Chains A and B, each alone.
Chain A
Amino acid sequence: MMLDIYDFYDKMERNHILLSFKGDITSELLTSILQIMESKLENLQEEPKVKKKVYNVLVECLQNLYHHMDEVDMTASDKTRSAIFMIGKLDSRYTIITGNYIRAENVKGLDARLQEINTMTQEQLKEYYKKVLANGEMSAKGGGGLGMIDIARKTGEKLNYTFMPIDDKYSFFSLNIKIS
């Protein structure tokens, strides 16, 4: 089968994608991606305020993917370990879309957590953040469940996400974040 590269190009163009990646998420990759995005934000001459917000939310989104790699079991195939992300810009609005496999048994818990975050006002998110920061358990690498709260707080928008069942073991989790 010939891959229609123009079709990809056209879709990305029409969706105003600045950058996209599919594969293993490593620390080195994130360092490079963040450097690339920082210079893009610089070239687009964004206000420092916008630049900071986009950069901050991007760090949380991408590090979520990175930490997620540890959760998928090590015997899993490369396919289920890899992830995808796209960063787009339309007018003054940035979009960060991420996608990764998640074990079917973890869907319910994550869904409940994200739903809870989505019911909160900005003031409640601030209190919840402080509570988790002060009392929450920290994972070995320092995750600790603050990422999604922080994203909701900084963007001021509800978390927009879906789970698509793939087989009895895995679902595909996608998160669509808008920053304006």
Chain B
Amino acid sequence: MEKINIESTPKTPSINFDFEKGFLEIKGRSIPENSIEFYKPIVESLEKYGSTPSSVTTVNIQLEYFNTSSSKCILDVFKKLESIHKNGNQLVINWYYEQDDEDMLEAGEDYQAIINVPFKMIQIAE
């Protein structure tokens, strides 16, 4: 499988998905009007990756802003990760939030409550 490297835009985050290393990173802002279109290729790649995943998968989510339209798509990404984890593969989701950004920490906790995967909340300096 080819690596996925998508550059960020004012409304969409950068995506870095290295299948061989088992590394996925979503970073920046996610506020597109049409988030399904943006996240579709990532959800599809995760589906493929899920059939032969790396023994350890690391996922870094470092979002500055995301809209409610993206929140469902991010959940779809997490559901794919959940099934990889369920199949006995080691997987961790690192949820980064800026110091004082309680809304972003709470958003991570919302996902943590829905998805059965280990989450690690990581505070970063502003």
Contact = CB atoms under 8 A, between A and B. Distances in A.
Whether A and B are associated in the same complex: the answer reads yes
Interface of B: 10-11, 31, 33-36, 65, 67-73, 75, 98, 100-101, 103, 106, 110, 113-114, 126
Interface string A53-78: 10110011001001100000000000
A142 B73 contact: yes
Given A138-B36, A142-B73, A60 B103 contact: no
B42 to A, nearest CB: 14
Dominant secondary structure of chain B at its interface with chain A: helix
21 contacts: A27-B33, A34-B10, A48-B100, A49-B100, A53-B103, A55-B65, A56-B65, A56-B67, A59-B65, A63-B69, A129-B110, A133-B75, A133-B110, A134-B75, A140-B36, A141-B34, A142-B34, A142-B35, A142-B36, A143-B69, A146-B71
Interface of A: 27, 30-31, 34-35, 48-49, 52-53, 55-56, 59-60, 63, 66-67, 126, 129-130, 133-134, 136, 138, 140-144, 146-147, 149-150, 154
A142 B69 contact: yes
Contacts of B70: 142
